[in-house]
Amino acid sequence: MRLLALCAEEELTVKELTEIVAQTQSGISHHLRQLCESGLLERRQEGTWAFYRVKSQEPGRGVVKTLLSLLPAGDDQLALDRERLRMFRRERASEAEHLFSQLAPRWDEIRKFHVDDVNVECALKDCLSGAEVRDLLDIGTGTGRVLELMAEDIEMGVGIDTSRGMLGLARSKLRKARVNNCHARFGDMYKVPFAKNSFDVVVVHMVLHYAEEPASVLREASRVLRPGGQVVVVDFASHELEVLRHDHSHRRLGFSDMEMEKWFEIANLDFKKFSRLEGSALTVVLWVGRLGAMPLSAKYAHSFW
């Protein structure tokens, strides 16, 4: 019951749970395995780490809620567990803020070239305002800002990233914002760790310019979409700021509408340029693709080869 109460607060590893409840790792692992087999918890593997959280689907989620409602509100042991969990949160938040303080100057240097982030976020919200979005995937989630921005409009959101440091930062920020319907996990944009028909919307926000193979990223985004779902790419229009390639590891200096449309069609996505936001030296564009287009082979009139 202590483990259930803790995992209801947030996703936790075996190591974290072992230190919080002050029990042996083998004992904790045994209980966690039983809770998973009973359909009350779910386990997610991330490299050598395993994360546990309350079952996200019924009936498991409802059963856990009922069980936790029976726990005595003033129990000393549960209060101690919550206090230890808060200590872990503070430690992780401190580490995340340290990372953010190191990265912030680099981001600020890029921001001065384009429109304010608030304008970009408003455009993204407008882009998705008319869509029914239950499940959203954010590829290259970074700080988790897209998840935080969209949390109130979706049922569930997942952000993937290959940087452990950025995942820690995203998790810390989501907890701080009390965003309970979204989480961040390890995942590669070239091998998205989800099956077909998993999401209504996939967002690729300021990530594609780092990609060696943008077309492959968009194919993976399309693969996990449900019929009628949308891929939204937010990135720079073509530019000539070589400093971003040399000092910020940008693989590509923005994108043209033509090459983006070509990649969308390869991924079998209907193409639309939703918004173009002019900045001082960089223009931010929102390109949208909807799954459900006819096969590429049938579109002879729109060939780009």
Q: What is the per-residue pLDDT for 293?
A: 43
The structure tokens listed for 210 are: 């780092």
Q: What is the per-residue pLDDT for 50?
A: 82
Side chain identity at 192, as an amino acid letter?
A: V
Distance separating the N- and C-terminal Cα atoms of the chain? 61
Q: What is the per-residue pLDDT for 47?
A: 60
Q: What is the per-residue pLDDT for 298?
A: 38
Q: Residue 52 and residue 98: Cα distance in Å, rounded?
A: 26
Q: What is the per-residue pLDDT for 301?
A: 32
Q: What is the per-residue pLDDT for 295?
A: 42
Q: Residue 218 and residue 255: Cα distance in Å, rounded?
A: 14
HSE toward the beta carbon, residue 199, CA cutoff 13 A: 26
Contact 228, 292 (CB under 8 A): yes
Q: What is the per-residue pLDDT for 305?
A: 23
The structure tokens listed for 69 are: 């409602």
Q: What is the per-residue pLDDT for 219?
A: 95
- The beta-strand segments (E) located in the chain are 12-13, 41-46, 49-54, 135-139, 156-161, 182-186, 199-205, 225-236, 269-278, 283-291
Side chain identity at 271, as an amino acid letter?
A: F
Q: What is the per-residue pLDDT for 99?
A: 53
pTM of structure: 0.69
Per-residue pLDDT of the chain (305 residues; tens, 9 = 90+): 999 999 998 888 898 899 999 899 999 999 999 999 999 999 977 566 788 989 878 898 899 999 999 998 889 999 999 899 888 877 766 665 665 566 656 666 666 677 788 999 999 999 998 778 999 999 999 889 999 999 999 999 999 998 888 888 888 889 889 898 999 999 999 999 999 999 999 999 999 998 888 999 999 999 999 999 999 999 999 998 888 877 777 888 899 999 899 999 999 999 998 899 988 889 999 999 999 844 433 332 332 22
262: which DSSP letter? H
Q: Residue 146 and residue 121: Cα distance in Å, rounded?
A: 8
How far is CA 191 from each of CA 106, 139, 224, rounded to the nearest angstrom? 28, 11, 11
Domain residue spans of the chain: 2-71, 104-302
CATH number of 104-302: 3.40.50.150
Contact 172, 145 (CB under 8 A): no
The 3-state DSSP class for residue 254 equals coil
Residue 105 backbone phi and psi in degrees, to 5:
-60, -35
- Residue in this structure with the two tokens 């700021």, named with its chain if needed: 241
CATH number of 2-71: 1.10.10.10
